[in-house]
């Protein structure tokens, strides 16, 4: 029997899964790693940790699956978006990768807006520019590390670097390329005018391929290390958000993915590259050919919950959420703005700050927890309202990410979005989706439609909105949306 290996290179760790052609999850490997912060606002990673993590998680997944490693027939990849990997002419890293979480490039972002204007940037990229994006990172390197910049021969994304290690060939594909802000998202080509304006050499950027195309085959030396068969086809793969969408079967308009993990993302497939003219949303290429998606991004979703657990010295996330579930909706008048690391949608402000509003002597840690959880979902609802103005009607919301482990997160989404919340039975959705991309590339499925139909199963549990809570949260949401405008003047200047 043939099996698929999916590898996901995330921000906080790597995952590997082994699945079969019916979607059974046979083995999972996980490895955590961190971000280096050599200076305030910097967030870097050594690409070597991704390789080590990919190897160790693959071994773990294979051992857990109990299959014969020689029966793995396809490999697909997924990875964190925007992170910039700079290689020399020997394909060796010139410096640590600058991740999407890095905040150093504020001046470069402002310079791009000054030169292009909001309308010009929208016309050329269909996206806002944020700190940590490849365009801003390259401009920072031009100005601050010119010797390193001069030696750059290749600019890749994390999963592209892993794929180079696996097959020995440089390449990229449309989903990650669209997240660099160096690409014409409509034409799915590098934007020659933009590259020329900012003196970025197009030769540093590999040709853009499709996610399900075969990039090459597994090198014999890597296969030997893992016990796999040399020559296994390796797909180009995709960025993590479209990969998790594939893993959850979100491959057509009308279905929305609501992910609350480290960050929070809403993803809605679109048949055209429609974009928000005010640049509060992202518009990127989907892993499905001739499909795009609109995305709202909240930088600290689960990360805000993690911060709260740390400062409260709580025993577990589940314990905090259990306590919060005993508090009435609205947390007795306590609001939380979850902007602990700046914010993307809808404010696009790296200097935004987290705020509790309405604290009283009555509030305890359960109230704080409920306010944090509600604040995250309120912020995501702002993105949902924007997506609804651009996309096809949303007929179904599918929840994913670590938040699906606790019922309160699911109920909050149902009540605040006023939508039933569905889930799939998919575990490790980004790695699962990556495996399906590999399966399509190897001919195990005729298309991603066929792959999802054969492997993605919906859960029987659907969380319905509570009518009383919906009305209460609608009123609270209006108050929530007034807080950022009232407080933003007290944040640091951009």
DSSP secondary structure code for residue 88 in this structure: -
Non-local CB neighbours of 494 within 8 Å, separated by 6+ positions: 106, 110, 349, 350, 351
- Between 240-247 and 429-441, two packed helices, what is the crossing angle to 10 degrees? 80
Sign of CA dihedral 174, 274, 11, 343: positive
Tokens of 365: 């840690």
User: How many Cβ atoms are within 10 Å of 360's Cβ, its own excluded?
Assistant: 9
DSSP secondary structure code for residue 259 in this structure: E
- Alpha carbons within 13 A on the beta-carbon side of 153: 9
Find the DSSP H helices in 336-443: 365-390, 407-417, 429-441
Could you give the C-alpha distances from 158 to 90, 381, 443, in angstroms and in order?
Answer: 17, 30, 25
Active-site annotation, residues: 240
User: Kind and range of the H or E element at 323?
Assistant: helix 317-325
Sign of CA dihedral 334, 338, 344, 350: positive
Rounded Cα gap, residues 297 and 78, in angstroms: 18
Residue 235 has φ and ψ, to the nearest 5°, of -75, 160
Task: Please name the residue that has the structure tokens 């989706």.
Answer: 433
351 neighbors 316 (Cβ within 8 angstroms): no
Rounded Cα gap, residues 199 and 182, in angstroms: 12
Could you give the C-alpha distances from 392 to 25, 253, 255, 389, 458, in angstroms and in order?
Answer: 32, 6, 9, 9, 22
Query: Please, what's the b/e burial string for 25-62 (b: 16 or more CB within 10 A of its CB; e: otherwise)?
Result: bbbbbbbebeeeeeeeebbbbebebbbebbbebbbbbb
- Alpha carbons within 13 A on the beta-carbon side of 247: 34
Rounded Cα gap, residues 183 and 105, in angstroms: 19
- Dump the DSSP string for 283-310: EEE-SSTT-EEEEEEESSSHHHHHHHHH
């Amino acid at each position: 029997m043939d099996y698929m290996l999916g590898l996901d290179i995330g921000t906080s760790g790597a995952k590997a899964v082994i699945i079969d052609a019916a979607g059974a999850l046979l083995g999972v490997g996980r490895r955590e790693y961190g971000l280096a912060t050599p200076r305030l606002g910097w967030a870097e990673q050594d690409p070597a940790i991704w390789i080590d993590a990919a190897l160790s998680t693959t071994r773990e997944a294979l051992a857990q699956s109990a299959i014969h490693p020689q029966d793995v027939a396809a490999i697909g990849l997924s990875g964190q978006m925007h992170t910039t990997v700079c290689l020399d002419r020997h394909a060796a890293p010139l410096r640590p990768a600058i991740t999407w979480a890095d905040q150093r490039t504020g001046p470069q972002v402002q310079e791009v807006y000054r030169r292009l204007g909001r309308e010009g940037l929208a016309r050329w990229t269909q996206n806002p520019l944020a700190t940590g994006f490849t365009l801003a990172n390259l401009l920072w390197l031009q100005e601050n590390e010119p010797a390193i910049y001069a030696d750059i021969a290749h600019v890749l994304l994390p999963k592209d670097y892993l794929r180079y290690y696996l097959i020995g060939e440089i390449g990229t594909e449309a989903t990650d390329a669209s997240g660099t802000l160096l690409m014409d998202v409509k034409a799915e080509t590098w934007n020659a005018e933009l590259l020329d304006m900012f003196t970025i050499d197009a030769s540093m950027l590999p040709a853009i391929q499709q996610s399900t195309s075969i990039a090459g085959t597994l090198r014999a030396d890597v296969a030997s290390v893992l016990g796999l068969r040399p020559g296994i086809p390796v797909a180009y793969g995709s960025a993590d958000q479209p990969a998790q969408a594939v893993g959850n079967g979100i491959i057509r308009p009308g279905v929305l993915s609501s992910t609350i993990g480290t960050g929070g993302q809403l993803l809605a497939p679109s048949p055209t590259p429609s974009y928000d003219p005010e640049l509060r949303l992202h518009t990127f290429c989907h892993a499905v050919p001739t499909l795009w998606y609109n995305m709202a991004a909240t930088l600290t979703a689960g990360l805000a919950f993690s911060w709260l657990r740390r400062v409260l010295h709580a025993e577990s996330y589940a314990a905090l959420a259990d306590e919060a579930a005993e508090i009435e909706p609205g947390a007795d008048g306590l609001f939380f703005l979850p902007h602990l690391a700046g914010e993307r949608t809808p404010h696009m402000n790296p200097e935004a700050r987290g705020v509790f509003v309405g604290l009283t002597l009555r509030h305890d840690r359960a109230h704080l927890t409920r306010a944090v959880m509600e604040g995250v979902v309120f912020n995501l609802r702002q993105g949902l309202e924007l997506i609804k103005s651009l996309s096809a009607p949303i007929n179904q919301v599918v929840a994913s990410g670590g938040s699906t482990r606790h019922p309160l997160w699911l109920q909050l989404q149902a009540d605040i979005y006023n939508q039933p919340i569905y889930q799939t039975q998919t575990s490790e959705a980004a790695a699962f989706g990556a495996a399906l991309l590999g399966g399509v590339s190897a001919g195990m499925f005729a298309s991603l439609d066929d792959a999802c139909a054969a492997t993605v199963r919906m859960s029987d549990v659907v969380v319905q909105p509570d009518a009383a809570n919906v009305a209460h949260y609608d009123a609270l949401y209006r108050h929530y949306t007034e807080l950022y405008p009232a407080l933003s003047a007290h944040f640091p200047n951009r």
